[in-house]
Amino acid sequence: AQTVTQSQPEMSVQEAETVTLSCTYDTSESDYYLFWYKQPPSRQMILVIRQEAYKQQNATENRFSVNFQKAAKSFSLKISDSQLGDAAMYFCARAAGNMLTFGGGTRLMVKP
């Protein structure tokens, strides 16, 4: 099975600091997209950022950016200037073929 792996079950960061969440994936597809989704406690999942595999430039969205290493099949999420509202489960996901496959998630805690 083609998998998405998030090796950090939990991470914590001090408010205003920077944190990086890791994700690795495998795929046999040449054309695919990668996503980071955020799922706050008891709230619905929302898209944080996405990356097209054919683009070498790393995607950025305000305080969120990715480090996409295609050869290594690595797709990490960097959150700068962390805020209390960033506390949530973060899921890395890969879209290939018809399917969106999620990793197991990383719980991010933000300390005031």
Partner 1 sequence: EAGVAQSPRYKIIEKRQSVAFWCNPISGHATLYWYQQILGQGPKLLIQFQNNGVVDDSQLPKDRFSAERLKGVDSTLKIQPAKLEDSAVYLCASSFVAGIQETQYFGPGTRLLVL
User: Does the footprint of partner 1 cover residue 97 (CB under 8 A)?
Assistant: yes
Sign of the C-alpha dihedral computed for residues 50, 55, 58 and 60 taken in this order: negative
User: Does the footprint of partner 1 cover residue 66 (CB under 8 A)?
Assistant: no
Residue type, position 56, single letter: Q
Residue 86 DSSP symbol: G
Give the count of alpha carbons within 13 A of 52, CB side only. 4
Strands (E), 62-105: 64-69, 74-79, 88-96, 99-102
* Span of 11-19, 60-68, 72-80, 98-106 interacting with partner 1 by CB under 8 A: 98-106
- Sites for partner 1 among residues 2-31 (CB under 8 A): 4, 31
Among 12, 14, 15, 46, binds partner 1 (CB under 8 A): 46
Q: Which is nearer to partner 1, 35 or 68 (CB)?
A: 35
Task: List contacts with partner 1 (CB under 8 A).
Answer: 4, 31-33, 35, 37, 43-47, 50, 52, 91, 93, 95-105
